[in-house]
Amino acid sequence: MDTKTALPWVTIVATGLFLRAAISLHSYSGQNRPPMYGDYEAQRHWQEVTVNLPVSDWYRNTTDNDLLYWGLDYPPLTAYHSYLVGLWARRWHNESYVALHESRGISTDQHKQFMRNTVLLLDVLLYLPAILYATYTIRKRLTDDRSEVAEWASLTLAVLFPGQILIDNGHFQYNNASLGLCALAVVALVERRTLAGAVLFCLALNYKQMELYHALPFFFYLLRDCFTGSDKSSTVLERLTNGVCRLAVLGVTVLATFLVLWLPWLSSLEAVGQLVHRIFPVARGVFEDKVSNVWCVVNVFVKLRNFPNTTMALVCLLCTLLAVLPSGLHLLLQKSPTIRSFLYSLAVTALGFFLFSFQVHEKSILLVALPVTLLLPLEPLAACWFLQIATFSMLPLLHKDGLTVPFEVVDESDGCGGKFRVVVVSSQFQGKPLLQRHRLVNAALEEELKTIHAFSQKTYTPEQWAGESGP
């Protein structure tokens, strides 16, 4: 790859990291809101639990693990990730970050920087390479448009999708891990590497159970693929036998992946049951806060929380199946299955889950946004429109976290990417003079600023910004 070809890639990645670092300067979920704080504290607490307690106690209620205080409720791969981050904090940063019982609600500037950097690290190592690779490959394999402008536009929009940036780098989560793994699973199927795709999707599903939003299209596509790859000249019995053999290999691969990840809990049915119970907490209710789905709208007229959770769970299951099965069955039964149909089915199915399933959060729209992002090369206008609506749908959550206007970036370099003017709004600027504020911004963007020729900034606290933008 020559310099001319590499420059756009470097520019896209650098801009993506620049915006993520800028968002990281702002507030996060539960900041300065004891006693439970928010998702930031939940992720930190899981690090505390996993590095201090034996594996058998990670999902159990014990004297040292109060499940009512952000008990671990994601699958094993999230737990392993929390363990590795916790070890990193303990051995190479500050043991107080994960001190058992004593680290709750920690909010020092050093700890915030550490936590923010762990998200950026996953962006660099997994999410950005995965989303760029997937979008690029889909465009090359499935479209005839060879316009460089269209190519770079789709790649740029994929990297700069504001919803994912605001949630992971602002609100604070690690959706970039499961979404990155899922994107790699999709591109593996595009390249006809079905077993690799199955393993990657199992990893995504074992990082966040919400990847079930994407599970049915994977299931139907892989099932159909097992019985359509045989030689057309062979007999029906031979094709059926080959299909069953391929299905058996696929099943063993999936089962082996799950066995490896769940191994520490397989010695006891009680331990497996407790893990499953933590992953699927029916008691939480049909939706959280102001999620933009059907049940939140219905709840305006009929208070759904007056109905038993088990009843609502069954109603949600039935409605979800009615919404998503037509797409899945079309994928399974169509005469000539294509990867293009698979991508559309991913988007339709994920949207069906978001609109009708049980226990939906505002952030769940990111699971719909991923396949829509991958459709940017095929449906640029519709996909771009949907991604903006998806971000807007999370406005109540972003407002609660103080992320409604976290930054503004203006490129003043006529497209060359060398001159930027930024506006940064952050509660971290409280009580700090202008020079200190600028030093905070410069420190967060230290690497990115090395490639920028001119950089100007304005910094505000949320209160100052409200006054600045008010009537």
Report how many domains make up the chain: 2
Secondary structure of residue 36 in the 3-state scheme: coil
Q: How distant is the alpha carbon of residue 124 from its chain centre?
A: 14
24: left (phi over 0), alpha (psi -120 to 50) or beta: alpha
Q: Does any domain span residue 274? A: yes
Q: Does 244 map to a domain?
A: yes
User: In sequence order, what are the beta bridge partners of 241?
Assistant: none
Of 354, 370, 401, which residue sits at a domain end? 401
Note whether residue 177 is domain-resident: yes
Check whether residue 298 and residue 441 sit in a common domain: no
Helical H runs in 229-268?
A: 236-262
Q: Give me the pLDDT at residue 471, please.
A: 39
The verdict on 197 and 345 lying in the same domain is: yes
Question: What distance in Å separates the CA atoms of residue 436 and residue 161, rounded to the nearest whole number?
Answer: 30
Answer yes or no: is 281 within a domain.
yes
The tens digit of pLDDT for each residue in 45-83 reads 999 999 999 999 999 999 999 999 999 999 999 999 999
**118 lies in some domain:** no
pLDDT along the chain (471 residues), means of 10: 76 93 90 88 96 96 93 96 96 93 91 96 97 95 82 92 95 96 97 96 97 97 85 77 93 97 95 93 71 88 86 93 95 86 96 93 95 95 94 88 64 55 78 87 75 78 64 39
**Is residue 150, in this structure, part of any structural domain at all?**
no
Are 240 and 388 part of one and the same domain?
Answer: yes
In a domain, 191, yes or no: yes
**What is d(CA 134, CA 292) in angstroms, rounded to the nearest whole number?**
28
**Cβ-proximal residues to 136 (8 Å cutoff; 6+ apart), any chain:** 151, 155
Does residue 431 share a domain with residue 315?
A: no
In the structure encoding, which two tokens stand for residue 293, read together? 């789905």
Q: pTM, whole model, 2 decimals?
A: 0.85
Same domain membership, residue 431 and residue 314: no
Asked whether residue 257 falls in the same domain as residue 360, the answer is yes
Does 115 reside within a domain? no
Q: Dihedral of CA 191/196/200/206: which sign?
A: positive
User: Cα–Cα distance between 63 and 237 in angstroms, integer?
Assistant: 60
Helices (H) and strands (E) in the chain, counts: 21, 3
Q: What is the CATH number of the domain that holds 435?
A: 3.30.300.90
CA distance 19 to 37: 25
Could you identify the residue written with the tokens 């940017």?
376
Is 423 found in the same domain as 379?
Answer: no
Q: By the 8 A CB rule, do 327 and 348 touch?
A: yes
The helix or strand, by DSSP H or E, that contains position 26, with its residue range, turns out to be: none
Domain containing 242 equals 171-401
Tell me the C-alpha distance between 366 and 131, whole Å: 13
Query: What pLDDT score does 412 carry?
Result: 53
Q: Are residues 464 and 383 in the same domain?
A: no
Indicate if 315 and 435 belong to the same structural domain.
no
- CA distances from residue 39 to 61, 74, 275, 401, 460 in whole angstroms, order as listed: 20, 13, 20, 11, 25
Q: What is the DSSP letter of 427?
A: G
Q: Of 135, 67, 30, nearest to 372 (Cα)?
A: 135
Clarify whether residues 438 and 348 are in a common domain: no
What gap in Å lies between CA 98 and CA 318, rounded to an integer? 42
Same domain, 431 and 388: no
Residues 371 and 290 in one domain: yes
